[in-house]
Structure 1
């Protein structure tokens, strides 16, 4: 039935998969790089023993099925490492835009120079990023936007997260034997596509807070799409390593030559279909995207996918709603740190980490960074444990936000940290969820996976993170833009220990995110720091690191972003490969840490307001720049 080679490969494959599912270190490596990827829950050893013999047979089948070959080089790194270019802080007096791509930064600052505000610039930036950074975000995905309105003192939070189709069920990412699908089996094709939310969200924000006419904000992206833009070294490297785009004709023809090689660095990509879509949205509003011919093409592309066809309907698109939600804020030292609430887990988890860390003197550890890595990782274990237990879409799950951010609760949680020894895997806190605890926390007396930060001349601030999830999303391209695979941010396993998982797939539900656009305020309630990052569930650690660097170590924003990345997601402690922090491995292991040294490719972009000056920082791990006046 099977060849000897196939049997041998299956045995090896079975051993690898079994080890990954039972070994949290390898399981974490499998999920480390998603655009906004949440790790999937690792089954316990008892469950794995019951499923092991099924695994052997399925491995035989899979090893001979070359539709989705699984090899060690297939470990997902969709936004992988493409090198590092050191950058200097950029200073300005009036206004600034920091994004992941120079063309997007130029578009944003051009809008500000024409009299637009931070919201207007954000819309122009996102449209250009759809074109020039297609692997990361775009109109085929979703995002979260945090806005500070200087004139009113209001802090506003907008949710443009994707939703599951109405036909989605909790077993969506299980195979017929009830086992979770392999990562790429799940993401590639139509089944992983959620209803895109970013266009509807940006329309909502513009209607409430924009200044320039809507249609004008699309012109930079339209012109670039019609005239072409040069392929950057980063995009070329990612295309060179990408294995799935070429399975879909639209994606293959756009990005690759006839010989299968990516179009070379510097060659122009012209995208007239996307220009047409942007013109339609510019002239007719978001309805042009969610209804009519564009919507029909999205549905047809998803449902007729040759791999993993989906079940999206026109009604799913037409009924999508962006939501205005309460921001969440908490004190850290003398600062008010604010971010996005659920369905993103990023804000609460990041604020929990800070709430635990503020009971320690981190400023004194600037000369002892290994001590900071230990404390930071232990705080991360505790916060991520709560995240995995309590956080999901608040329209479906009761979330004890007040308890999770209560200083006394976090002080007790932090008391479990031993300065000399790792606690290992942390358990979630003992919180009983009641209906009343669904309420969000407000910021004192205020009413109320790419990242970019914007400050306009009037002091308005936008911090926005958006994503199509995995690099190049579902790999499905429709009318020149890629569709997301955000539904794989749901937990694949819907039930654990007889209880439904909070982040399981459900119809019209929003998958849990880790996006953490953040604004920090001083005691006078003025914004002093705007930041965020892509990076899957590691976003939380990336953002917290930047905040500690600026607020505790008194670094400027560029220095803080450039610090090596590190932390724990309640799995092994992670140290960034190729940095001096990688040398901490032996010391941390002597304290009981399980340590892995891996690329940790953040994309943090931020603006610091200090002494009447704007200081911009762009992540050296990506191609972004800060531009200011």
Structure 2
């Protein structure tokens, strides 16, 4: 069956690339277009009067718009989009993963939903030890021990209960049609498959992603996933409970147990999982309220810290691509990441001093550590509370995630970031979908070099710290920006940069997400490879910055409310699309 749609407004982030075989030949560690990253004014902005859907893939955006055209809400559109993303962008998200969901409704205000994975009950502190030694990150990532209890389906169902309009089953139609009828392998999917040789190591992923000669399916190949379609039919009929019990739960447990480095997921872990409604975290900032997901996500709190620090610097008068702007933005990032690594984890297990971390005087004191002409190098965590002590934790967080922003004609808004962690998650495939490897977002070793326990250590039932940063900026009680991004720990500078562009430099949404990326995660100052900002390398090194040029494959998607209507920002580094009514 064909997926029918009638877009009013269309914007493709890399739409032309879908037809370019040469794009597929790129190694996906380089999966951005350097020319697209070289200037923030290379694409026209798109405005819609009533509604907007922005996702990382055209087919997902079309599914979301289809729900809106059928009378659905932003929640309905976001869920339909996500179910399609799990099919056409399996490297990034899916029902075997988790996510954080932020929703605004005119009557009830902001609500947030924690669908983060949890640690199986049988786990211990030495989860990532093998033969008495801490496993390498690569070993841990591609193993059964990395698999957490998936949370996405519970979270989507909970959000639908609060804000859905269409019947639950109807939201599955677009994804089922595409899974059965097939979809074309895009250049990005092809290149990511080619860039992940571990897919050939497991029978299910080898059979699905590779041809008979063990090569990635070519661009344009029509890929069918009838197993996933059947899973979706069951979930559409019986709800999320069907994912967490019965045959499907048994199959997930069996797949994790059968891995060469077996995990300990059990049917009771799945049966007992609950998504959580959490109080959104908000901080007053100038004339706006910056709002987002609270811990265990470290994303919004770190973004808020960066914006709170930057308002005490002269960055507003700097050119967005100047050495001065890069310097101040990077120094603010160092300070925020130092605090993130020390203080943020699952609040059910540790006391996260989030209000103290966002206190105006504390942020002013942190900003005072920034020198105008010299980098601090490596920032130390602050002491938001007088008696606070910190353990260091530099847990890697890999960039395979997706973000959806949706606004409907009735004022409902969704900003949703979902993930299976690194590309293709654990590489363990069950009935056409991939299981996450989110537990490698914990510290692989429970103690730091000084023997102090990390706040982000593995514990049964715990949710790993995340950098996902779905955010909604409010003004006078109404949304003015919905934003988020994929990118592992780089999500924090991606979202902070987009907000800096719009709120400090007065760029439109498209200009802001198209800015060349830069920043620091409290190590080197990172500049987007191939972008114009690399011209500032010498000036930055003269200020004491260790400079590193590297790909920054973000996927920042924005909806902004303006006098003209709803304005879309679609990251030019991915295949995203904005569709509106």
Q: TM above 0.5, one fold? A: yes
Which structure 2 residues correspond to residues 205-604 of structure 1 after superposition, within 5 A? 205-305=159-259, 307-366=260-319, 369-432=322-385, 449-496=401-448, 497-522=450-475, 524-604=476-556
Q: Quote the Cα distance in structure 1 between the aligned partners of 2:478 and 2:254.
A: 48
Aligned-residue offset at 1:78:
7.5
Q: Secondary structure at the match of 2:162?
A: helix
Aligned-residue offset at 1:82:
4.4
Structure 2 match to 1:90: 46
Structure 2 match to 1:184: 138
Larger radius of gyration between Structure 1 and Structure 2: 1
Q: 1:433 to 1:259 in 2, by over 3 A?
A: farther
Aligned-residue offset at 1:528:
1.1
TM-score (norm 1): 0.83
Aligned-residue offset at 1:89:
2.0
Q: 1:387 to 1:504 in 2, by over 3 A?
A: same
Whether contact under 8 Å (2:442, 2:458) holds in the other structure is yes
Which of 115, 129, 139 is equivalent to 1:160?
115
Q: Secondary structure at the match of 1:510?
A: coil
Aligned-residue offset at 1:432:
3.5
Which of 62, 71, 74 is equivalent to 1:115?
71
Bigger CA drift: 542-551 or 236-245? Answer: 236-245
Q: Quote the Cα distance in structure 2 between the aligned partners of 1:319 and 1:128.
A: 27
**Deviation by residue 1:405-456 (Cα, 9 ceiling, x = unmatched):** 0000000111010010001111111234889xxxxxxxxxxxxx10010000
**Deviation by residue 1:514-554 (Cα, 9 ceiling, x = unmatched):** 000011112x2221111110001110000000000011111
Q: Quote the Cα distance in structure 2 between the aligned partners of 1:79 and 1:96.
A: 31
Structure 2 match to 1:171: 126
Whether contact under 8 Å (2:421, 2:437) holds in the other structure is yes
Structure 2 match to 1:20: none
Q: Quote the Cα distance in structure 2 between the aligned partners of 1:612 and 1:402.
A: 36
Q: 1:368 to 1:562 in 2, by over 3 A?
A: closer
Aligned-residue offset at 1:161:
0.2
Q: 1:336 to 1:263 in 2, by over 3 A?
A: same
Whether contact under 8 Å (1:82, 1:237) holds in the other structure is no
Q: Secondary structure at the match of 2:129?
A: coil
Q: Quote the Cα distance in structure 2 between the aligned partners of 1:586 and 1:223.
A: 53
Aligned-residue offset at 1:192:
0.6
Which blocks of at least 5 consecutive residues in structure 2 are unaligned? 1-26, 37-41, 389-400
Aligned-residue offset at 1:87:
4.1
Aligned-residue offset at 1:358:
1.0
Whether contact under 8 Å (2:362, 2:384) holds in the other structure is no
Whether contact under 8 Å (1:398, 1:433) holds in the other structure is no
Q: Secondary structure at the match of 2:235?
A: helix
Q: Quote the Cα distance in structure 2 between the aligned partners of 1:163 and 1:316.
A: 9
Aligned-residue offset at 1:367:
6.3
Whether contact under 8 Å (1:330, 1:337) holds in the other structure is yes
Q: 1:287 to 1:111 in 2, by over 3 A?
A: same
Q: Quote the Cα distance in structure 2 between the aligned partners of 1:89 and 1:479.
A: 40
Whether contact under 8 Å (1:168, 1:506) holds in the other structure is yes
Which of 547, 550, 560 is equivalent to 1:608?
560
**Deviation by residue 1:565-611 (Cα, 9 ceiling, x = unmatched):** 11011111100000010111111111111110111111101111100
Q: Secondary structure at the match of 1:191?
A: helix
Confirm whether residue 141 of structure 1 aligns to residue 93 of structure 2: no
Q: 1:265 to 1:110 in 2, by over 3 A?
A: same
Aligned-residue offset at 1:332:
2.2
Structure 1 match to 2:149: 195
Q: 1:367 to 1:168 in 2, by over 3 A?
A: closer
Number of positions where the alignment pairs a residue of Structure 1 with one of Structure 2: 536
Q: 1:532 to 1:396 in 2, by over 3 A?
A: same
Q: 1:400 to 1:187 in 2, by over 3 A?
A: same
Aligned-residue offset at 1:80:
5.2
Which blocks of at least 5 consecutive residues in structure 1 are unaligned? 1-76, 436-448
Q: Secondary structure at the match of 2:145?
A: coil
Q: Secondary structure at the match of 2:193?
A: helix
RMSD between superposed Cα atoms in Å: 1.5
